[in-house]
């Protein structure tokens, strides 16, 4: 695992907001209701509060994006420091509610619900590491999570919904977390490449873009980890050959992910043993890729000397 880790070099609402944040609903014929395509009122072609580090999740429905986001946030808040909504941002109240739901659910083993279609869930946060070194500074993080149905819309030259387009077209620092699951990766090789092509068309040079490919639900392999780095490499090469070429050519990062032991009880999946090890790896990768410093950076010589007297 050391060699593998070294490779890495989510109150109250008014009625209108309640209606807007309802999960996607279906009628008796399993058809999407015609009158339900909510658009977030805070999203426009002009992105507010651009002074942040934006983290964009790509992945189809049931790929595990929301699980990864909630467990990363839980790790950052429970193990690595303080995570709080950033004051003065458009979604500060919504962020507070979503964070509360994420944290309450994950402690009870409840997996996050599906994301709302045609809407970007934006979480504007401040992360303050518990590391005492002056080099390991607080950072602003804006997590963007969208419905997997929207990502399917780019197949065969299709277009994203305008709420997503506004972020991809904006001149903001973006980190991309590209998610595909252990059991469906072989079906999504082409779609992932269409997404990477879309980024290229928008002027984002993949040689310098900050991105990581994440194979979610790794526990379905029968293990919570990989035996060695080659196991992950071989999986990606076999199931995602075109993506593997892009990732390797441009030197992008890759990882696997599991939230722990998941059981299916009465048609509902629940976590009965929470595992935060991969949440730790991905969170540390994110911080390091943005700041250039490790979350567990030991400090300068003088800082280490000072720490030795104060501990």
215-237 tens-digit pLDDT? 999 999 999 999 898 999 999 99
Give me the pLDDT at residue 162, please. 66
State the maximum Cα–Cα separation within the chain, in Å, rounded to a whole number.
68
147 and 115 Cβ atoms separated by less than 8 Å: yes
Give me the pLDDT at residue 91, please. 62
Confidence class for position 282, pLDDT limits 50, 70, 90: very high
30 within some domain: no
228 within some domain: yes
* 22 pLDDT higher than 60: no
* 35 pLDDT higher than 50: no
Give me the pLDDT at residue 257, please. 96
Asked whether the whole model's pTM tops 0.75, one would answer yes
14 within some domain: no
- Distance separating alpha carbons of residues 282 and 291, to the nearest angstrom: 14
Instruction: Give the CATH number for residue 67.
Output: 3.40.50.300
Confidence class for position 182, pLDDT limits 50, 70, 90: very high
17 within some domain: no
301 within some domain: yes
Q: Name which residue leads in pLDDT, 113 or 135.
A: 135
Give me the pLDDT at residue 157, please. 65
225 within some domain: yes
- Give the count of domains, the chain: 1
Confidence class for position 40, pLDDT limits 50, 70, 90: very low
Kindly state the percentage of the chain with pLDDT values over 90.
43
Q: Which domain holds residue 159?
A: 2-9+53-310
53 and 173 Cβ atoms separated by less than 8 Å: yes
285 within some domain: yes
15 within some domain: no
Q: Name which residue leads in pLDDT, 84 or 304.
A: 84
Q: Which residues pair with 126 in a beta bridge?
A: 84, 140
Lowest average pLDDT, out of 69-83, 142-156, 245-259, goes to 142-156
Q: pLDDT tens for residues 74-121?
A: 999 999 999 988 877 766 566 677 778 888 888 888 887 666 665 677
Mean pLDDT of 130-144: 93
């Amino acid at each position: 695992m050391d060699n593998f880790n070294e490779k890495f070099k989510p109150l109250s609402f008014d009625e209108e907001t309640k209606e807007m944040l309802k999960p996607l609903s279906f009628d008796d014929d399993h058809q999407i209701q015609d009158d339900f395509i909510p658009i977030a009122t805070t999203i426009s072609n002009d992105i507010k509060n651009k002074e942040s580090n934006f983290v964009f999740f790509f992945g189809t429905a049931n790929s595990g994006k929301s699980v990864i986001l909630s467990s990363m946030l839980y790790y950052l808040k429970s193990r690595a420091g303080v995570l709080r909504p950033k004051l003065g941002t458009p979604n500060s109240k919504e962020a507070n509610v979503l964070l509360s739901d994420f944290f309450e659910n994950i402690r009870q083993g409840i997996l996050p619900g599906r994301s709302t279609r045609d809407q970007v869930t934006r979480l504007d946060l401040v992360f303050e590491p518990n590391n005492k070194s002056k080099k390991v500074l607080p950072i602003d993080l804006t997590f963007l999570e969208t419905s997997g149905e929207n990502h399917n819309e780019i197949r065969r030259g299709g277009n994203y919904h305008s709420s997503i387009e506004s972020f991809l077209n904006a001149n903001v620092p973006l980190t991309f977390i590209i998610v595909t699951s252990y059991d469906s990766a072989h079906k999504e090789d082409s779609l992932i490449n269409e997404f990477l092509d879309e980024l290229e068309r928008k002027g984002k040079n993949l040689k310098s873009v900050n991105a990581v490919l994440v194979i979610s639900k790794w526990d379905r392999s029968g293990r919570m980890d990989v035996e060695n780095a080659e196991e992950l490499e071989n999986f990606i090469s076999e199931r995602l050959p075109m993506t593997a070429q892009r990732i390797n050519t441009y030197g992008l990062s890759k990882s696997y992910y599991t939230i722990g032991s998941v059981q299916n009880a009465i048609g509902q999946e629940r976590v009965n043993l929470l595992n935060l090890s991969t949440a730790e790896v991905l969170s540390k990768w994110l911080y390091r890729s943005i700041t250039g410093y490790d979350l567990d950076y030991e400090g300068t010589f003088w800082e280490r000397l000072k720490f030795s007297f104060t501990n």
